Structure 1
């Protein structure tokens, strides 16, 4: 993204969750699903009527929007975890698994939720857990249960308990927002009449690095989410942009023009320890660490057109990665180290592509034509990205095989710059 057309400087304010944030909640539309979805029944949990909202609805919604599950209707009658399900009946309904649960009062106004997951074909228990929750924690509890069901059935970590960051532009105001992975519960971390771009999560999820234009130029900040406090990570002469965290959270890769052209450096989150990573006579930008911290992937025009390269984090000679097409940018290695997503210019425009790191084979995943800012889910299964539909910026997600598609939008606002947060610790 070009760092031009700066707006007039106004004071930045930190906001708590307000009605303004609520109106900016993302709504999700599922536009594609897996070829073979796993049929699962999620029974209404016994005793959950004591809670302000049902945990069951959260679990069902999570699994359904994943595109990997088809929900078998069980009716409104609750089934507790002490009751052995009728496996024969469930098999006639087509359910290969069922989750049942019970909610009972505990001490200090809390509740205890007990859940069991069964394989109806083998008539065997797959998992069981007990969670203690407050009534207000019905959503996070539902996400945790959905994560467990997802992992036990697919073998992959569930990501329903994660968060996403994104930027909403409404009128002249920009808001950096953080929401649950399903777009609910949005919180505004930062609001400004100046652009906010390139949010990047720290590996432990406690901080966000981003670029703000509040000083009439792009400056990299590190924002501690629990306190709202910020530190300047890069504010040198010229442009400071494109922050990316190292896997251990100790360093940031950034792009600076303090010595001339856009070049890559690493820096401590507090702004100390600036080290130049590479030197070239071209523009090097959009760095991203590999999952093991051994490589930094980046975009460069050193070969005559924008292409993706990688360089050792210890420095040295850069290696070209993309060769197909005349324009490939914004590399984002997957958390499992097996693939890399990026933006490729095709006959249909700018689209999300994925490449196998070992074989260098690639595929186009999307059917939109103005895609940007890809960001992997922490289980490497989905890619969140920004695109444009009907002249308005929206977020979308696509599975790594291209079969599952989702669209996330905010009414009467542009949504850009998505970043998928890490698994909770």
Structure 2
């Protein structure tokens, strides 16, 4: 087999990026679809050969090539779709044509690697300024020897832009091998404490990089929820001891009041089609669930009970809503039709079950469960109540809270006091891969995982 270059790849695309936004077309998925949600799914062995700057070795020193490889490694490992294989790297130079010869690909085959990926980064002058360029390639060791290539062009030249490009390459690899885009380009909204009586909504990359504040002021802004198109967040804002629900356009910062101030307006949740907002309100005296039509402004009361009903979460098809209620004496998870009918209790094990989050795949509902001797942990249960799995464990004095699913339904973020202060954590749905995303001495809470871009 002869070496091949980027321009000779069988599948190639160019993506122009400006300010982190996508322009151009995505590649079509190959007709290679792996059932990645199967319990017996085996991750795809992949070797990250390295990334060079056009002249240097791909992993020289602690330079930019090493950083690219590490970002990609983390993305692929977190996805659970790939197993990153470490093979010894000889002295390897990229030629001007960016060709990769037989030697490293032969080493990959002998090492049991299915996919080998590499690339290089550079800069290019233009009439509007310098542009960052990332060229990424992959070679599949299968019988057909399928090659995949992508060239990303963007500005300004910055670490954020570079990370965006690497995340897109990771998602492209996931898409190519599963038919479903990855999660590396997603974000997490959350709440950060900034002083007594002051909390604001922030957003960060899914891996904890680049936090930025979205709200400001010396008040409480809590419980962010993403719109299905990822363009807006709804959240509860405290105004003179009352709460209103506000919609924030993420790009422009424009705010729109959705629910006027009253004694209690909390836990907003957009419907999957973006037309409705479910939320809890005490406007009628008791804390009940309401449905707001975002197009007409009409409001419909869904529950009518003397107990407290809150924390609605939609099924992926929009036909049902799971929520927390203490109508049985203790907080438990219930499910009802989206119009408020056909209410049924879902959880029966344990005296405290709350804060449900319905998986985008529809197969599980994650929630906070009280476990004897372990305090408040995360569990997941099937919507028919037939199967229950404990996800997290810990000490009695710790508390895990506010689970939120990744768009692919394979991972969760949540807040936890397991480190003393409340921080945001990442975990696989099977309970492995626990990783803290936030740092510092503040309290962080209410994470909400965004849809894909």
Matched, 1:133 2:147: no
Show CA shifts across 1:319-376 (max 9, x none).
1111222211111100111111011111111111011225630110101340110000
Kept in 1: contact 2:336–2:344 (CA 8 A): yes
Aligned to 1:62: 75
2:50 to 44, 57, 64: 44
Give the drift of 1:186: 1.2
Distance 1:201 1:252 in 2: 11
Match of 1:97 among 107, 115, 131: 115
**Which TM-score applies when normalising by structure 1?**
0.83
Within 1, Cα distance between the matches of 2:55 and 2:310? 53
Shift of 1:416: 0.9
In structure 2, relative to structure 1, the CA distance for the partners of 1:182 and 1:390 (3 Å cut) is closer
- Which gives a bigger RCO, structure 1 or 2 (Cα 8 Å, sep 6+)? 1
Please give the secondary structure, in 1, of the residue aligned with 2:216.
Answer: strand
Q: CA deviation at 1:211?
A: 0.9
Provide the C-alpha distance between the structure 2 equivalents of 1:78 and 1:99, rounded to a whole number of angstroms. 15
Secondary structure at the aligned position of 1:45 is classed as strand
Query: Where does structure 2 lack aligned partners over 5 or more consecutive residues?
Result: 1-39, 57-62
Instruction: Find the counterpart in structure 1 of residue 184 from structure 2.
Output: 160
Distance in 2, matches of 1:306 and 1:314, equals: 22
Of 234, 254, 271, the residue aligned with 2:279 is 254
Q: What per-residue deviation string (whole Å, max 9, x for no partner) do you get for residues 232-286 of structure 1?
A: 1112432111100011112110111111110011114489211112222221111
Q: Which residue pairs with 1:349 in the alignment? A: 375
Structure 1 SS opposite 2:362 = coil
Match of 2:305? 280
CA contact (8 A) 1:234 1:271 kept: no
Which is worse superposed, 239-248 or 127-136?
Answer: 127-136
Q: Which residue is equivalent to 1:264?
A: 289
**Does residue 375 of the first structure (1) align with residue 400 of the second (2)?**
no
1:155 deviates by 6.1
Give me the whole-angstrom Cα distance separating, in 1, the residues matched to 2:144 and 2:41.
26
Tell me the TM-score normalized by structure 2.
Answer: 0.79
Change over 3 Å in CA distance of 1:345–1:87 after alignment to 2:
same
Query: Which secondary structure does the structure 1 equivalent of 2:174 belong to?
Result: helix
Which of 1 and 2 has greater Rg? 2
SS in 2 for 1:403: coil
SS of match in other structure, 1:139: helix
Residues matched between the structures, number: 390
> Which residue does 2:270 correspond to in 1?
245
Aligned-residue CA RMSD in angstroms? Answer: 2.7
Instruction: Report how far residue 404 of structure 1 moved.
Output: 2.3
* Further displaced range: 206-215 or 95-104: 95-104
Once the two structures are TM-superposed, the CA of residue 153 in structure 1 deviates from its matched residue by 4.8
Q: Quick check: 2:243–2:262 contact (8 Å CA) kept in 1?
A: no
Give the CA deviation at 1:46.
Answer: 4.0
Displacement after TM superposition at 1:94 (Å): 4.6
Unaligned runs of 5+ residues in structure 1 are 1-33
